[in-house]
Structure 1
């Protein structure tokens, strides 16, 4: 994101600042920004949901700041998700409306008929993945960012959770198994750890890697080694919680100690404060 947007006062007005072409200048739509409930910010634009379910957009026109072409469909909106340059809105009836850069998820016409009874939409930097009420998944956007899941479509059943990093997706299914797709080097390929990905209860991500926590407190990682995809140097047992930065992970264990891995400059090495990291909650 390149701008901020704050909802102020009981009237639901919006104040913006930052890069003018990234949503920091909302003067062109200021009179429409009333009764705003939520503001969603992409890399270059903003979209606000008002109390009546209508949507107001501003910022870079080609990146979702101009929703004129779909304005007649933007009603009864309950939630909005964003890639770097496109938006996807879920309506009350479970349908989805998209706009912005067509290459990065702004054009969902190829999967329009499948986008029914959608519960939630998740996003990487350039693609969307929607989970429907029957646990199936629909994807669109840049194939390099996870917009094409055809190779694993047969596995995308009974999906309970979807997680995304910058260019890949990972799902947790009802049986605790995991399915991944997207950029192979960023976690879209988990084949080398697939047999270990059982009884998964949570998945966390850095920009280019994933970490799956299992019900027994162990952790499995994959993706770019330099971004946390390789945890072979640390002991990950009795883990209660995982946190992530852009390129590193930190795990809190049952005894209150902390283990870190990934890029040193992103927090992957806590050696300097290791003695202080006790009784962490």
Structure 2
């Protein structure tokens, strides 16, 4: 059987897939749209031509013994506009699911870009759903998603979302966890529990972010699932939890931020900090505390919940321009858009945490036991608060920092741009420090 499948409005017709009932393998057309099926069984057959962004064309025909049957097909353009819906949030290197209609049955020459960076890893493609991996080189912040169809007669579609930064280094009092360049995890030190955090679960891979609770470890995988381990009696991740784009762990609490801006808290049912306020939405960042949880919303306001200790729930009434959040064991901090900070709770005054240094050009904040660190865009760090162990005295020449990690008790940790870790403060227990020569994945800034 021979035939020709022509594309409406085109002069080149190669690449259309043609299938024939009763024949297992399809064929593709050449530049003139021609195709051939050899050794077709006699009888009635249905032939169909498929191509993204075109209506399917088909015909029913009879194949006679010893004869060549011919058919001509014409594929009309699908005129409906491409409809694109993007989630509110995604994360560097995470899977981004785009929904809508008119993407085309197969990707073909279509492409997706995020913040002007073309996606390279396409995980699935259908007419109503596309899944790509967010480029790891993409800077965090508000970005535009563009879907460009593989045909020049169909307009592009755009949507906006917020890209969150990976957390590739986390620490607790006596142990830490990091994401390696191959996207597996490494754990050092000891949580001292009956069911320790080492080793990491076998087969854990494609990790984008990690967190460290008092005696449990947690990893966020690129597909939006969460893996939690440690003990001695860990509260499991809820069955079916998915679409997670960020995690924050502290004490017994784990907060999971989902791509739709809602929050899931994981911990003991009796702990008030595990009960997220009803109706909380439009969240863009979370910070777990020892006694409370905090959520930063897209409008710059803050919600805090949990145990009413250390006045941590007394969020300043005029706080409506926050861009980043962190906490110590007895205080909370919100970085404002103008480079100042609001600090509240018992520790704000007791440990002089409210006496903030110049926080202009700060892009990240983290809290230790009784001190804070702030990272500037030029890679320098400032630290303030309780410095009894030297945790606020920065090492000389520390000017190439990519991220700061909190909750390391009386020490401070910073991830350099070359993937190595700087640690200072109470570093007397060598077994609790990152191993010499350790190199972690460095998130783009």
TM-score (norm 2): 0.39
Q: Aligned match of 1:184 in 297, 308, 311?
A: 308
1:118 has 2:230 as partner: no
Within 5 Å, give how 1:82-161 maps onto structure 2: 82-101=212-231, 103=233, 106-109=234-237, 111-113=238-240, 115-142=241-268, 147-150=273-276, 152-155=277-280, 157-161=281-285
- Following TM superposition, by how much is the alpha carbon of 1:62 offset from its aligned partner in structure 2, in angstroms? 0.8
Return closer, same or farther for 1:44/1:249 CA change in 2, 3 Å cut-off: closer
Write 1 or 2 for the structure with the bigger share of helix.
1
The aligned residue for residue 103 of structure 2 is: none
- Following TM superposition, by how much is the alpha carbon of 1:64 offset from its aligned partner in structure 2, in angstroms? 1.9
Larger radius of gyration: 2
The aligned residue for residue 197 of structure 2 is: 64
Contact in 2 for aligned 1:53/1:76 (Cα 8 Å): yes
Contact in 2 for aligned 1:171/1:179 (Cα 8 Å): yes
- Following TM superposition, by how much is the alpha carbon of 1:79 offset from its aligned partner in structure 2, in angstroms? 2.9
3-state SS of the aligned residue for 2:220? strand
The aligned residue for residue 52 of structure 2 is: none
3-state SS of the aligned residue for 2:309? helix
- Following TM superposition, by how much is the alpha carbon of 1:39 offset from its aligned partner in structure 2, in angstroms? 7.7
Write the distance in 2 (CA, Å) between the matches of 1:265 and 1:222.
Answer: 21
- Following TM superposition, by how much is the alpha carbon of 1:220 offset from its aligned partner in structure 2, in angstroms? 2.7
- What is the aligned-residue RMSD (CA, Å)? 4.4
- Following TM superposition, by how much is the alpha carbon of 1:239 offset from its aligned partner in structure 2, in angstroms? 5.5
The aligned residue for residue 211 of structure 1 is: 333
Write the distance in 2 (CA, Å) between the matches of 1:238 and 1:176.
Answer: 20
- Following TM superposition, by how much is the alpha carbon of 1:102 offset from its aligned partner in structure 2, in angstroms? 5.8
- Following TM superposition, by how much is the alpha carbon of 1:202 offset from its aligned partner in structure 2, in angstroms? 2.6
- Following TM superposition, by how much is the alpha carbon of 1:46 offset from its aligned partner in structure 2, in angstroms? 6.0
Gaps of 5+ in 2: 1-167, 375-382, 391-445
- Following TM superposition, by how much is the alpha carbon of 1:218 offset from its aligned partner in structure 2, in angstroms? 4.8
Q: Aligned match of 1:169 in 290, 293, 298?
A: 293
Write the distance in 2 (CA, Å) between the matches of 1:143 and 1:218.
Answer: 36
Write the distance in 1 (CA, Å) between the matches of 2:198 and 2:357.
Answer: 46
Write the distance in 1 (CA, Å) between the matches of 2:337 and 2:182.
Answer: 42
3-state SS of the aligned residue for 1:63? coil
1:223 has 2:345 as partner: yes
The aligned residue for residue 247 of structure 1 is: 370
Return closer, same or farther for 1:264/1:98 CA change in 2, 3 Å cut-off: closer
Matched residues, number: 213
TM-score (norm 1): 0.58
The aligned residue for residue 434 of structure 2 is: none
Gaps of 5+ in 1: 1-37, 252-259, 268-281
Contact in 2 for aligned 1:64/1:99 (Cα 8 Å): yes
CA distances 1:190-231 after superposition (whole Å, capped 9, x unpaired) = 25x2x2221112324333101223234554332224555984
- Following TM superposition, by how much is the alpha carbon of 1:122 offset from its aligned partner in structure 2, in angstroms? 0.6
CA distances 1:131-170 after superposition (whole Å, capped 9, x unpaired) = 11111111112468775133x1322x11111223443332
